[in-house]
């Protein structure tokens, strides 16, 4: 018997946001088989999975994804359940299909990070696993079929995946075509930056189905790690180049597994995810909004919502926060992250149409809602964003920064003594940004300055990266602050 907690320590494949994440070389068939067994055993012990039930599987376009999907399917079969292959589709499409049918699902994806890494997102029949579920999975002890595994951890006879089904993708597209008014995007010219995102076909189907004229741009055969929080210089230039043609009212895209959006205005400027989230929440008529501590403070300053709740970074925390607001009687309740991923906790009704809750990150909803708002109000996307208070955020990260070193460095600002923490922050960041007035430890270290600026330092939960989020009254100042933070953090390596 092998305990999942011990497997985490031995393999280096650990829990990130909503599932396992690690280097492809560490995510052997054995490891993926064991994690899947642990997840399904956990469901069975909780009375949420019976033998013979369907378990949905899908994945992104990474080279390693097919092999990992097959290993997961083998584990599903070993538990007496039936694996269903929904192909390469957006993570929210898979989750929505499972929620509608009270079935668990597994999404093989490394999201936005490079393809030398991958992961498995676990979805309960009700949506993403939360932190209590993660603890339950880690506590499972599983029995592996030693006779079926080679010495290197590969399956000796990996099963062929079942034929791919289109049902989940079709249901996802229908979700939006049924809710938004027909031709609500008529007349809009939209470029879809497809790269290697599994959302590319869904974007095309939904946008054209609602009347937009769509041009497909930048499709890639190899995987491109598009990060919506730290947008690559190449993607900035691509958007500007496409916009310069004058052919588009907006550009849209998403990360690898289609749960984090990118929306650019007619000039090719990508909106920050925490701005897109506010605009989407407003257009959907949200009463309660939940967002992590790293998101732009314009959400409170705009005064558009009855209540705004801040959480730690990560969709499980946002989901828990949404549940808390719902239990207090607020509706509709939505959430979003700084990466733009948008979550809906309660059904949204409009005229005679209903959009079912989808408490997992989604990208398509953000693009369609913002484009629909622009057309309905007869104004460019840029003017929608201009209605917000002038607060600007910027973020970047240092790759290959050991998580242990991040924790060690940030511990200097988390002594437990508030005055000492402010002094420590002032010694490091004060010379560049001025007087430190507050240090928030909700997630990482978020430092407030007397001039209203903010610098937030935090290790990634999905990869060995150290991130910096900055906020100021101008876009240039937020970028400049971030560059200074990057210089300081790079100096921490030595």
Contact criterion met (CB below 8 Å) for 76 and 57: yes
Helix, strand, or coil (residue 119)? strand
Sheet strands (E) in 381-427: 392-398
What distance in Å separates the CA atoms of residue 104 and residue 39, rounded to the nearest whole number?
Answer: 10
CA angle 160, 70, 102 (to 5 degrees): 110
Structure tokens at 188: 């809009």
Q: What three-state secondary structure class fits 139?
A: coil
Residues 173, 408: Cα–Cα separation, whole Å: 46
- Residue 296, token pair as written in the block: 């732009």
Tokens 């000039």 sit on residue: 267
288-302 as b/e: b if 16+ CB within 10 A: bbbbbbbbbbbbbeb
d(CA 454, CA 78): 51
The tokens describing 77, both together, are 């079969």
Q: Quote the tokens at residue 423.
A: 């002094």
What angle (nearest 5°) sits at the alpha carbon of residue 341, between those of residues 169 and 473?
150
HSE at residue 171, side-chain half, CA atoms within 13 A, is 16
Which among 271, 324, 331, 326 is positioned nearest to 305, based on CA atoms? 331
Distance from the Cα of residue 15 to its chain's centroid: 15
Strand ranges (DSSP E) for 238-352? 250-254, 261-264, 288-292, 307-311, 333-336, 342-344, 348-350
Name the E strands within 153-202. 189-195
338/272 Cα distance (integer angstroms): 8
Orientation angle between helical segments 131-138 and 315-327, nearest 10 degrees? 130
Choose, from 11, 64, 111, 253, the residue flagged as catalytic. 111
Pick from 82, 79, 76, 66: nearest CA to 24: 66
* H or E stretch covering 327: helix 315-327
To the query of whether residue 460 is one of the catalytic residues in this protein, the response is no
- The DSSP call for residue 491 is G
Residues identified as active-site: 111
């Amino acid at each position: 018997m092998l305990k999942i907690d011990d497997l985490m320590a031995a393999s280096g494949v650990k829990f990130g946001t909503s599932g396992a994440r690690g280097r492809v070389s560490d995510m052997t068939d054995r490891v993926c088989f064991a994690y899947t067994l642990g997840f399904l055993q956990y469901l069975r012990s909780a009375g949420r999975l019976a033998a013979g039930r369907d378990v949905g599987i899908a994945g992104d376009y990474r080279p390693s994804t097919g092999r990992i999907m097959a290993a997961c399917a083998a584990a599903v079969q070993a538990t007496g359940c039936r694996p269903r292959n929904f192909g390469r589709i957006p993570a929210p499409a898979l989750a929505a299909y499972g929620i509608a049918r009270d079935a668990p699902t597994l999404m093989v994806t490394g999201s936005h990070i490079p393809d030398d890494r991958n992961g498995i997102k676990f979805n309960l029949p009700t949506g993403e696993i939360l932190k209590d579920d993660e603890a339950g999975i880690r506590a499972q002890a599983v029995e592996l079929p030693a006779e079926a595994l080679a010495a290197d951890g590969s399956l000796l006879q990996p099963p062929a995946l079942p034929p791919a089904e289109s049902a989940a993708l079709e249901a996802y597209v229908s979700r939006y075509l049924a809710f938004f008014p027909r031709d609500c995007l008529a007349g809009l010219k939209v470029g879809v930056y497809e790269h290697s995102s599994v959302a590319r076909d869904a974007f095309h189907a939904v946008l054209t189905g609602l009347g937009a004229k769509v041009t497909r741009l930048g499709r890639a055969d190899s995987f491109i790690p598009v990060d919506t929080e730290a947008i690559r210089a190449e993607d900035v230039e691509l958007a500007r180049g496409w916009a310069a043609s004058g052919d588009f009212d907006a550009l849209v895209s998403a990360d690898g597994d289609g749960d984090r959006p990118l929306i650019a205005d007619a000039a090719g400027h990508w909106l920050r995810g925490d701005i897109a989230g506010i605009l989407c929440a407003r257009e959907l008529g949200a009463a309660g909004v939940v967002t992590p501590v790293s998101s732009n403070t314009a959400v409170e300053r705009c005064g558009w919502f009855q209540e705004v709740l801040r959480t730690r970074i990560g969709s499980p925390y946002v989901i828990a926060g949404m549940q808390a607001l719902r239990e207090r009687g607020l509706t509709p309740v939505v959430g979003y992250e700084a990466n733009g991923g948008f979550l809906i906790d309660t059904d949204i009704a409009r005229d005679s149409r209903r959009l079912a809750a989808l408490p997992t990150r989604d990208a398509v909803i953000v693009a369609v809602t913002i484009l629909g708002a622009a057309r309905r109000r007869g104004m460019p996307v840029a003017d929608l964003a201009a209605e917000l208070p002038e607060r600007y955020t910027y973020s970047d990260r240092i790759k290959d920064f050991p998580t242990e070193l991040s924790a060690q460095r940030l511990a200097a600002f988390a002594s437990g003594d508030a005055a000492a923490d402010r002094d420590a922050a002032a010694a490091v960041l004060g010379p560049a940004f001025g007087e430190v007035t507050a240090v928030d430890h909700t997630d990482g270290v978020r430092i407030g300055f007397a001039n209203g600026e903010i610098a937030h330092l935090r290790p990634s939960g999905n990869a060995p990266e150290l991130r910096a989020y900055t906020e100021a009254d101008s876009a240039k100042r937020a970028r400049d602050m971030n560059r200074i933070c990057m210089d300081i953090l790079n100096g921490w390596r030595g």
